[in-house]
Amino acid sequence: MAKDINELSVIAEIEKKFGKGNIFKFSDKASEDIPVISTGSIGLDAALGVGGIPCGRITEIFGGEASGKTSLCLQIAANCQKTGGRVVYVDAENALDVTHAKLLGVNVDEMYISQPDTAQQTFGIIEEILKSGDFQLVVVDSVAALVSEQEANGEFGDSVTFDTPVYIRHKKNKSIEIVAIADLYAGRKDFLKNSNQNWYRKLKTYEILTHDGWSDINGVVKKKNVAKKEIIVSRTPVGVVRTTKDHSLFKGGVEIKPTDLKIGDLLDIVSTPSLELNKETMPLDIAWLLGFWCAEGATTSLDKRTKNRFETSNTDLLVITKTKDIVDRFFISDTKISVRTYTDGVRKPLHILQCTANKELGRLMESCTGKQTRLKQVPASVINGTNDIKQSFLDGFFAGDGSHGGLEKEGNKYYNNSMPIIAGLQFLLNQLGKKNSLFMDKNRLEQLVLAEISKFNSPDKKENQIINFYTQEAPEILYDISTEQETFVSALGNIVLHNSNIGVIAKLMAQACRKLTPLINKHNVAVIFINQVRDLIGVMFGPNTTTTGGRALKFFASVRIESASSTQIKDGDTVVGRKMKYKVVKNKVAPPFLTAEFDVTYGQNWVMYNEVIELGSELKIIEKSGSWYSYNGTRLGQGTANVRQYLIDNSEVMQEIEAKIRTELGVA
């Protein structure tokens, strides 16, 4: 008894604090059947198990083109109006055929139609409709047509430049690579084309570094800079990112636009990813050769055959001689050294090494460049190699593009205009425990200078502190990445970036479902989302299609109906209709996976009449003898066309037969 009293006091306290009805026993509520709206098809009402579309729930109707999705929703709207309900039709596609709606029995003069400009407007309008409690049915046609405010305003990209370096890791062997975002996109493109090139073609086998660790890659997007956006370059002592003004960064865990940054702001960054195991091995001379090649190498076509000519040059003959010696020792290659002199009396003679490479040397050199951008990058074999390999690579690079000293606090300097190679060098220095800072060439802003810090333990400023930002003219093509964590990390400075445009409709759908579901249930409104299907590229096994708008709607919908058109209905050689098939693939109010088929005739609302004839005959309610049909001893006609016309002309007989069929099928 004491427990019961204590329990009641808790219930009273909850109701006092949160309102009456927020907690109850089912025994306290009268048992009620779920209110429904008929679909206009006896067979589909029976397949749904409760006699129609449930009120107070979300229903998704999806399928391919011309599969009867809109027609079914208009039939449901007509039946809702017949019972005195009010209907709102959200025509996001701006393509509602009023004449077709009238043929299906919709009173278009009494149906409210909304044609919002954006997805945000759509969900705002639906929220107000639900709060009013004055409507019984809302139809959204369709999820695929919803447009975000950014897209509607021409902002097709919160984007980054093609050379933005990112960390990717192979899921199986855990090897890390640093590649330009455009090269990651090129790998995706090759996979779609079923190319034999083994680049980053299977994005599902790789993961990308985000603010919350490694994450799956949903996709890489390439965009045209239609709006002619400017690029904002944001710099920290060890990093730089080039983004459009609407591409958010993070400050204290909160999104911030580059235009809102101030000198001294502290951006969110992540730690340099650690290698699980330095398992790559190679001769140290090869590592030195790779470093020198990344600094000074170039590839030119020798002829139309498969051979390539590799060239590298330096003013130091000893360095070129060392390079030739390594190539001659490890590879079968024709090498020669030539010299180029200058008459200006200022520049030193340039020593050029030319190599006609075999496949092995060619693959080694190709690992130093991006597949699409052709920008230099640190090979994965070096990134995942031992510390000795890393140091030998740095020595080789320094021999090509490097200098020592300058300011007292600066040690070795590495020069390059490739963001991926500078990011890779920074990764190697961090792995070796060497502090470093990033500088921009005063005369050429695209020239990056990475300097080792040799005489003190930390830079003058915090490594995530904004020290400068300025605008640049943006290229015609921009890129972005969609990840499961909705962020990714620039490998140059480990700066966290957020993508807010990719998957924005999916995010809005998830937010809307969370917010609208309680209102839908509270006011007992039936909400139907029409959705389209898209092919999944590259899927060889399992389902090869998906619906638009993300995954949230699948979970929040109590009922999901898949529509498909099958055989054509012909009158002679003229196609007059189609046989439609509807499968209830999800049902939280009755057993799922039941199907219904019925004929749809173009320009006619004959669905119910055709079903009454077909189902009535199957259930022996209508007697069939040859091509003649009879009911209660009265002949209805010969052939379905004549019987249908009889039922149209005699509505009382039609209603009587329909009631018997529904009773037989257990559909109220």
Say yes or no: 248 and 149 in one domain. no
Tens digit of each residue's pLDDT (9 = 90 or more) over 94-146: 999 999 999 999 999 999 999 999 999 999 999 999 999 999 999 999 999 99
Whether residue 22 lies inside any domain: the answer is: no
pLDDT of the residue at 344: 65
Say yes or no: 110 and 167 in one domain. no
Whether residue 23 lies inside any domain: the answer is: no
Under the banding of pLDDT at 50, 70 and 90, the label for residue 308 is low
How many Å apart are CA 177 and CA 207, to the nearest integer?
11
**pLDDT above 80 (res 478):** yes
pLDDT of the residue at 306: 43
**What is the rounded average pLDDT of the residues 54-80?**
95
How many Å apart are CA 188 and CA 220, to the nearest integer?
7
Total tally of structural domains belonging to the chain: 3
Say yes or no: 552 and 579 in one domain. yes
pLDDT of the residue at 214: 92
Between these two residues, 138 and 443, which has the higher pLDDT value?
138
In 64-122, the DSSP E strands lie at 87-91, 112-114
Please tell me the least confidently modeled range out of 61-75, 145-159, 270-284, 552-566. 145-159
How many Å apart are CA 390 and CA 386, to the nearest integer?
6
What is the domain-level CATH number for residue 637?
3.30.250.10
Answer positive or negative: Cα dihedral of 334, 335, 336, 341: positive
Taking each helix axis as running N to C, give the angle between helix 607-618 and helix 651-665, from 0 to 180 degrees, rounded to the nearest 10: 60
Nearest to 177 by CA among 200, 193, 147: 200
**Three-class SS of residue 408?**
coil
Given phi > 0 = left and psi -120 to 50 = alpha, else beta, which region is 564? beta
**pLDDT above 80 (res 248):** yes
How many Å apart are CA 137 and CA 498, to the nearest integer?
37
Given phi > 0 = left and psi -120 to 50 = alpha, else beta, which region is 524? left
Whether residue 116 lies inside any domain: the answer is: yes
Task: State both tokens at 567.
Answer: 């055989």
Tens digit of each residue's pLDDT (9 = 90 or more) over 569-623: 888 888 888 889 999 999 999 999 999 998 888 777 778 898 999 999 999 999 9
Q: In terms of residue numbers, what domain contains 220?
A: 156-232+239-269+474-500
**What is the rounded average pLDDT of the residues 391-397?**
93
Q: What mean pLDDT is reported for the chain?
A: 84
**What is the rounded average pLDDT of the residues 333-359?**
78
626, 637 contact by CB (below 8 A): no
What is the domain-level CATH number for residue 76?
3.40.50.300
The listed range with the strongest mean pLDDT (85-89, 258-262, 653-657, 659-663) is 85-89
Which of 453, 484, 500 is the last residue in one of the domains? 500
Say yes or no: 485 and 516 in one domain. no
**What is the rounded average pLDDT of the residues 46-66?**
95
What is the domain-level CATH number for residue 264?
2.170.16.10
Say yes or no: 643 and 566 in one domain. no
Whether residue 202 lies inside any domain: the answer is: yes
Whether residue 214 lies inside any domain: the answer is: yes
Which of 580, 605, 630 is the last residue in one of the domains? 605
497, 249 contact by CB (below 8 A): yes
Between these two residues, 591 and 204, which has the higher pLDDT value?
591
- 235: how many CB neighbours lie within 10 A of its CB? 19
SS3 content of the chain, % helix, strand, coil (to 5): 30, 30, 40
What does the chain come to in residues?
668
95, 70 contact by CB (below 8 A): no
Whether residue 328 lies inside any domain: the answer is: no
How many Å apart are CA 254 and CA 65, to the nearest integer?
42
**pLDDT above 80 (res 357):** no
Determine if the peptide bond prior to 403 is cis (ω within 30°).
Answer: no
pLDDT of the residue at 32: 60
Say yes or no: 51 and 84 in one domain. yes
Task: State both tokens at 361.
Answer: 């040397």
CA angle 11, 13, 16 (to 5 degrees): 110
Say yes or no: 99 and 194 in one domain. no
Whether residue 459 lies inside any domain: the answer is: no
Between these two residues, 124 and 350, which has the higher pLDDT value?
124
Which of 465, 500, 535 is the last residue in one of the domains? 500
Q: Identity (one letter) of the amino acid at 609? A: Y
Say yes or no: 128 and 173 in one domain. no
Task: State both tokens at 254.
Answer: 């909160």
Of all residues in the chain, the percent with pLDDT exceeding 90 is 46
In 112-183, the DSSP E strands lie at 112-114, 137-141, 165-170, 176-180
**What is the rounded average pLDDT of the residues 280-309?**
74
355, 310 contact by CB (below 8 A): yes
φ, ψ for residue 430, nearest 5 deg: -65, -40
Nearest to 215 by CA among 420, 419, 427, 489: 489
Say yes or no: 64 and 160 in one domain. no
Nearest to 506 by CA among 524, 482, 527: 482
Say yes or no: 515 and 496 in one domain. no
pLDDT of the residue at 304: 42
Say yes or no: 131 and 176 in one domain. no
Say yes or no: 161 and 149 in one domain. no
Nearest to 431 by CA among 458, 394, 379: 394
Given phi > 0 = left and psi -120 to 50 = alpha, else beta, which region is 449? beta
Whether residue 456 lies inside any domain: the answer is: no
Nearest to 180 by CA among 379, 394, 371: 371
How many Å apart are CA 667 and CA 102, to the nearest integer?
26
